[in-house]
Structures are given as C-alpha cells and as structure tokens.
C-alpha cells in the first residue's frame, strides 16, 4: 500500500446494506480543478454541446444517439481524462461510445483528443451517470465499463461508491442479454465490495473461475497512467468481468 494512502477500514459484506440505507448523495467529488485555458473553454462552449446527451428528451434506442448507426453501443462510467474512452472509440469506429464524467477538467482533456482525432462515435454526459442509466431504453447497451472508480476510502464515504445494489440494477437493466460489465480497481476493499454486491444481483454473473484470473488484464486492455502508478506503488489491479444473464 502506498505510504500516502490511509490504512483502509476492513470491509464486511453485512455493512454494505446498512450503508445504502443512508441518505442518497453524489457518487463524485469536486466538479472542477484548475481554470480552463481559452482553447479549453472553446471546446466546452463549441464541441461539447454538439456531442453531449440530454436525458430529458425521449429516445427510441441507444443507436439513435449516433449518426453512423453503430453495430453496438458501449458506455464508460467516470472516464477520467478519457484515455480508455478515446482509445476504444478510435479502435472501434463502428461502435458508439457513451462517456460519463462530471469532472470538467477530465471532460475537456477528452474533448481535445476527440477533436484532434476527428472521433465522431463518442457522446458525452458531464453529470451523474445514473441519469443516463435511467434514461436509456432497456437492453440497449452491449458493454459497460467502470474503471478505477473513486474508492472513497473513508468508511463514512462508502455510500458514495458507484457500485451499489441500485446502480447494479440500473446497469443490468440497460445491458442486453449476454452483455458485458467490466470493473477494474487496485483497491482490494472495493473489489471485495463489488463482488459482494454483484453476488446478490441475480441479473449479473462473474466470468472468472478463480481469483488468479482477476489479475489478468483483458485482451484489448492498455495500461493507463493511473494504473502505471498503482503498479509502481505496489498495488495489484484486478479486472472483473460480469455478464448479463
């Protein structure tokens, strides 16, 4: 464990149900870091409105959100600076990607690459991803990614973790039968938390047959800067794959 991180409280599965009965709150922290440069502000003012989602208007299907009639639609919850999101979009241009990220500075980093590489298969939502999960039609997504979400280390903040019984129900609802939910974390307590929650979600089932399999990255995975830091600091990432029953 890195010396700059506090010692983690031990997670007991029975605690999660109690935590989720507490008052509902945001699953994210601050919305903005350092001030935007003029070029970054231009991206927020000009590009973001063109590719942002409006979950107040009805839609018939997730594919209708894109101009190119994608073969599949994938969604990333909390894309950070957009490394994984834009890589998937560039590698799979026939796919439609929905990216959710409330942190302004992360959004603008992704927008810069989207513009530079002329990626037309990405749509952005810069608020709580739960809004999009509730808005999308049932069985409309083929994959959902939740990669290195904020672990909210302190016990009193565990209720802010995105993985919850309610959010897993949301994810399961929008996944097609056989659809994939990928989760990655280098925090053991959050991995245990996630396995416990999925274990009581009847609509999702883990694909790994052993703990060792969880240490093996997905075939199309490329290490992010955050993950490289985790390895340097001695933390072992785990890669969980669940499919919609």
pLDDT, tens digit (0-9, with 9 covering 90-100), for 176-234: 999 999 999 999 999 999 999 999 999 999 989 899 999 999 999 999 888 999 999 99
Write down the pLDDT at residue 225. 86
Residue 201 lies in a domain: yes
What DSSP line would sit under 6-33, residue for residue? PPPPPP-HHHHHHHHTSPP--S---S--
Write down the pLDDT at residue 13. 53
Check: CB of residue 118 under 8 Å from CB of residue 95: no
Q: How far, in Å, CA of 172 to CA of 167, rounded?
A: 9
Residue 166 lies in a domain: yes
Q: How far, in Å, CA of 148 to CA of 80, rounded?
A: 9
Check: CB of residue 83 under 8 Å from CB of residue 225: yes
Higher pLDDT, 13 or 241: 241
Write down the pLDDT at residue 31. 58
What DSSP line would sit under 58-74, residue for residue? --S-SGGGSSS--S-EE
Residue 204 lies in a domain: yes
Q: Residue 160 above 70 pLDDT?
A: yes
Residue 102 lies in a domain: yes
Q: Residue 205: beta bridge partners? A: 243
Q: Which of 45, 142, 150, 165 is catalytic?
A: 150
Check: CB of residue 141 under 8 Å from CB of residue 174: yes
Higher pLDDT, 20 or 82: 82
* 208-214: Cβ within 8 A, 24+ apart: 208/240, 208/241, 214/238, 214/239, 214/240
Q: How far, in whole angstroms, is CA 116 from its chain's centroid?
A: 23
Q: How far, in Å, CA of 121 to CA of 88, rounded?
A: 10
Write down the pLDDT at residue 34. 79
Check: CB of residue 39 under 8 Å from CB of residue 113: no
Q: Look at strands 238-244 and 175-185 and give their pairing.
A: antiparallel
Q: Which of 48, 57, 160, 46 is nearest to 104 (CA)?
A: 48
Query: What pTM value is reported for the model?
Result: 0.87
Check: CB of residue 179 under 8 Å from CB of residue 141: yes
H or E stretch including 145?
Answer: strand 141-147
Higher pLDDT, 11 or 185: 185
Residue 217 structural domain: 67-244
Residue 35 lies in a domain: no
Residue 210 lies in a domain: yes
Residue 47 lies in a domain: no
Q: Which of 242, 237, 80, 102 is nearest to 171 (CA)?
A: 242
Write down the pLDDT at residue 12. 55
Write down the pLDDT at residue 1. 37
Residues 83-124 have pLDDT tens digits of 999 999 999 999 999 999 999 999 999 999 999 999 999 999
Domain count, the chain: 1
* Secondary structure of residue 106 in the 3-state scheme: helix
Give catalytic status of residue 150 as yes or no: yes
The CATH number assigned to the domain holding 148 equals 3.40.50.150
Q: How far, in whole angstroms, is CA 150 from its chain's centroid?
A: 10
Q: How far, in Å, CA of 129 to CA of 126, rounded?
A: 8
Residues 119-154 have pLDDT tens digits of 999 999 999 999 999 999 999 999 999 999 999 999
Residue 78 lies in a domain: yes
Q: Residue 11 above 90 pLDDT?
A: no
Q: Residue 29 above 80 pLDDT?
A: no
């Amino acid at each position: 464990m890195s010396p700059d991180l506090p010692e983690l409280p031990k997670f007991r599965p029975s605690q999660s149900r109690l935590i989720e009965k507490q008052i509902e709150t945001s699953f994210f922290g601050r919305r903005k870091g350092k001030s935007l440069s003029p070029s970054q502000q231009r991206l927020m003012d000009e590009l973001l409105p063109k590719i942002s989602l409006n979950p107040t208007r009805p839609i018939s299907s997730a594919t209708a959100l894109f101009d190119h009639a994608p073969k599949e639609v994938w969604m990333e919850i909390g894309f950070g600076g957009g490394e994984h999101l834009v890589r998937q979009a560039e590698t799979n241009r026939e796919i439609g990607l929905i990216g959710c990220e409330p942190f302004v500075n992360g959004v603008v980093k992704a927008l810069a690459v989207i513009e530079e590489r002329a990626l037309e298969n990405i749509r952005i939502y810069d608020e709580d991803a739960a809004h999009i999960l509730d808005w999308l039609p049932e069985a409309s997504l083929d994959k959902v990614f939740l990669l290195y979400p904020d672990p909210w280390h302190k016990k009193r903040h565990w209720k802010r973790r995105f993985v919850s019984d309610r959010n897993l129900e949301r994810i399961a609802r929008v996944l097609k039968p056989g659809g994939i939910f990928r989760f990655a974390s280098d925090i053991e307590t959050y991995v245990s938390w996630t396995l416990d929650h999925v274990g009581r979600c009847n609509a999702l089932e883990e694909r790994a047959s052993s703990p060792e399999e969880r240490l093996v990255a997905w075939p199309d995975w490329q290490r992010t800067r955050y993950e490289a830091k985790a390895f340097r600091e001695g933390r072992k990432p785990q890669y969980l794959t669940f499919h919609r029953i």
